[in-house]
Amino acid sequence: MVGAVALVASLIVGPAATAKSDAASAGTVVIGHDQEPVTLNNLITEGNAYTTSLVTNTVLASASVYNQNAKLVPYLVDAAPKIVKPNPLTVSFKYKASAKWSDGRQLTGNDFRATYNTIMNPNFDITSREGWEDIASIKVNGKAVTVTWKKGKAYAAWDALVATSPYPAHKMAGQNFNDLYRNSIDVASGPFKFVSWQKGTQLVLAKNTAFTAGPKAKVDRVIFRYIPSTPSLFQALQSGEIQVTEPQPQLQIVDIRKNSRFKVQSGPGYFWEHMDIQFGPKGHPALKQAFVRQAIITGINRNQIKQALYVSPGLVGSAKELPVLQSHIFKPFEGNYQPNWKKWSFSQKKVITMLKAKGCTGGPNAPSANNSAVWSCPNVGKLSFRFTTTSGNQLRALTFEIAQKQLKSVGIELIPRFGPAGTVFGQVLPSGDWDIFMFTWLGGPTSSSTSFGLYGCGGDQNYMNYCNKKGSALLQKAQFTPDPAARAKLLNEAEAKYLSQDVMSVPMYVRPGFLINSTSVKGPVLNPTQQGSTWNAQGWTVG
């Protein structure tokens, strides 16, 4: 899928699922991942996870895919979609004559239109309707599609929207889409098809022999092995239980780089780590106060965290390779990046001064690593906050520990609330029942254009419940501004004047991407977007 900014007991689904560990064999590639999908429907909230897309991108193929250079290239369509008319924005494209479903039915424009109708159905828990909700009409002529947006609503990320994976119209008809593909996918349009899913252990795909829209897969099977523990994941790699992994940055990578049995690719990507702050009714009341949020970002030494966890261990070559992120909208490697958050420099003394000035009591008079006193502020209570992130992730746990100690030194308490990815992303994050939530957004070149969805008032993925009406208006205007330079100006204005001043979230850094594979597997190439490591899995070979 190319779109929204990409989680117990064993259940055997489909044939050939067993508790036995499948060893690598000729024709089989085993991918290790630390997170397991909740569902295989990547259009609903529970399925809005990177781990879901790694599977579904190979089964429910996209019209176009992001390659290793973050460029959209045609896949199921016969050529790049083109603009027919700028206002109202009208775009046309055509699916390949060879594009079909694995059950023999032709893949047509009706599948795209049915996907649109499903996304716009209010009865379904769709992650984001951004861009779709402004479509005025969809005209279909066999495999040809013409999409027209409402006048004045020239959606800036139109190319990513029409690149989305079409869902099969004949499978969605009459179904509750919230339950579709929860445990299996019974049809495929990509180079692989679903075979089985033993929840808690592994998911198996096989070559889709009916696929003719592109080169057929060279391996017979791809197995996703789910290993939530960081040490266990790397042990599985060393032992040969898994052959490919796309880990989050972890300290074990430094040693893996020295091992000639593995190839390690790394580089910057559209992945940004951050600590979101909850503004809604279920969040701590103190977080609704700007001075409290400003105290939090001022009390966290982001540069020290980066240095301790990435630079000193050798995960990145130098501090210059991983600057502290000073924008939630653009990445440091993008031309329109401006350090809009640089104003919030680390100062423990300043934190104490600002809290005292607001009448807060009970905290320390000076920063101290041995401090145990916690501030209480008028009408909002004790500055003690729940801190949510995924369990089992070693580097995230270390990030929390450092931030916790830094804030403890100035009288602000963080209480860990870690959980499995499927729970914290599928349930806790959208519920709004949290205070501070650390995670990574994964996107692509159009991520800046769709910032309204994350930070605008009522944005589909604005799980913080943050709302600044003036900033939101600028973000929404940018969403429909075709000219890239004018759009970037609006986005930077919104962030500099409103978002960064409000401190709705703490930007950390653009997380480097890593892709590790055994040298016995040829073909994996690091992808800097949410398309992920399986973007070219059909070309992988073993031997």
Q: How confident is the model at residue 502 (pLDDT cuts 50, 70, 90)?
A: very high
Give 222-258 pLDDT, tens digit per residue. Answer: 999 999 999 999 999 999 999 999 998 899 999 999 9
- Domain 34-184's class? alpha beta
Q: Could you tell me the pTM of the whole model?
A: 0.89
Q: Is the pLDDT of residue 37 over 80?
A: yes
Question: What pLDDT does 337 receive?
Answer: 98
- Cα separation, 500 vs 336, whole angstroms: 16
DSSP classification of residue 301: -
- What is the mean predicted confidence (pLDDT) over 438-464? 96
Beta bridge partners of 137: 148
Cα separations in angstroms, 63 against 108, 143, 356 = 11, 12, 57
pLDDT in tens, 460-483: 999 999 999 999 999 999 999 999
pLDDT value, residue 543: 86
Q: In three state form, how does the secondary structure of 77-100 look?
A: ECCCCEEEEECCEEEEEEECCCCE
Distance CA 244, CA 241 (A): 10
Residue 7 has pLDDT above 90, yes or no: no
Mean pLDDT across 192-218: 98
- The predicted pLDDT at position 225 comes to 98
How far is the C-alpha of 467 from the C-alpha of 469, rounded, in Å?
A: 6
Is residue 91 predicted with pLDDT exceeding 70? yes
Kindly state the helix (H) or strand (E) to which residue 513 belongs, with its residue range.
Answer: strand 513-518
Please give the share of the chain, as a percent, with pLDDT higher than 70.
95
The span from the CA of 203 to the CA of 229, in Å, is 18
**Per-residue model confidence as pLDDT tens digits over 66-89:** 999 999 999 999 999 999 999 999
User: What is the per-residue pLDDT across 322-369, written as a single tens digit (0 to 9) for each?
Assistant: 999 999 999 999 999 999 999 999 999 999 999 999 999 999 999 999
The letter for the amino acid at 473 is A
What is the Cα 251 distance to its own chain's centre?
22
> Does the pLDDT at position 13 exceed 90?
no
Give the CA angle between residues 6, 470, 279 to the nearest 5°. 55
Dihedral sign computed on CA atoms, order 255, 259, 261, 267:
positive
Which pLDDT does position 20 carry in this prediction? 34
Q: Where are the domains of the chain?
A: 34-184, 271-510
Question: What is the mean pLDDT of the segment spanning 38-60?
Answer: 96
pLDDT of residue 24: 42
pLDDT of 492 above 60: yes
The hierarchical CATH code for the domain 271-510 is 3.10.105.10
Q: CA 111, CA 309: separation in Å to the nearest integer?
A: 46
Report helix, strand or coil for 515: strand
User: Measured between alpha carbons, how far is 61 from 425 in angstroms, rounded to an integer?
Assistant: 24
Mean pLDDT in residue range 181-209: 98
Is it the case that residue 17 has pLDDT exceeding 70? no
Q: How far is CA 178 from CA 45, 119, 143, 186, 383, in A?
A: 9, 11, 27, 16, 39
Over the stretch 529-539, which tens digit does the pLDDT of each residue have?
999 999 999 99
